[in-house]
Structure 1
């Protein structure tokens, strides 16, 4: 019986391709399901041989840990060089989005507190 191995929803194409290559490299038979036209199904990689689930899970976990460490180090290096955008840089790049978010938060807060303020 097949076992769900790796969800593909919101996974970058590069990472999904790397996981597919990793499974193929270790001769782990798998198949892929897509989300479908209305995005109701589960886009995922399924392991055909459930008895090798721990092996496959270990490979994916090791890959994701290495990916996390690499991306984190790249971010730390970019911040050290002053190339990573900070909070103020992001606010300056998207002032309309920030303004709309603040207005929406104010409205939600006002509507939430209105019953208590009218007591």
Structure 2
């Protein structure tokens, strides 16, 4: 029976490609499911054989550790050279978007708190 190795929700496309290549390189049979059109299911990468699942999990642990170090180093470098996106850079680049998002957040928060204010 197949077992889920990686849920593809919030997974970058290059990471999914790397995982597929890693499984292929180690001779582990896998298949991928696509996300549902309504966004209920995010899709995933599945290992076909139960016996391969522990080995695939071990390979994933090593891969994710290496990827985490690499991505953190890239982020630190981007922050140092000023090319990383920050709240201030987004505000300078798209002020209407940021202000409208903040206004919408304030509106939602006020609607949530309104019953508590009215019941006092």
| Pairing of 1:63-102 with structure 2 (within 5 A) | 63-102=63-102
Q: 1:5 to 1:109 in 2, by over 3 A?
A: closer
- How far apart in 1 are the matches of 2:109 and 2:60? 43
Unaligned runs of 5+ residues in structure 2 are none
Distance 1:43 1:108, change over 3 A: closer
- In 1, the alpha carbon distance for the partners of 2:31 and 2:107 equals 47
* Cα deviations by residue, 1:41-98 (Å, 9 ceiling, x for unpaired): 5511111121221110111121111111111101111222233233221111121122
Which residue number in structure 2 is paired with residue 15 of structure 1? 15
CA distance in 1 between counterparts of 2:31 and 2:118 reads 58
Cα distance change on mapping 1:39 and 1:93 into 2, 3 Å: same
Bigger Rg, structure 1 or 2: 1
Report the secondary structure of 1:68's partner residue.
helix
Q: Can you list the C-alpha shifts for 1:19-60, whole angstroms capped at 9, x where unaligned?
A: 111001001111222224444455111111212211101111
Aligned Cα root-mean-square deviation (Å): 2.3
TM-score by length of 1: 0.82
Tell me the secondary structure at the aligned position of residue 5 of structure 1: strand
* Structure 1 unaligned residues grouped into runs of 5+: none
Q: TM-score, normalised by structure 2?
A: 0.81
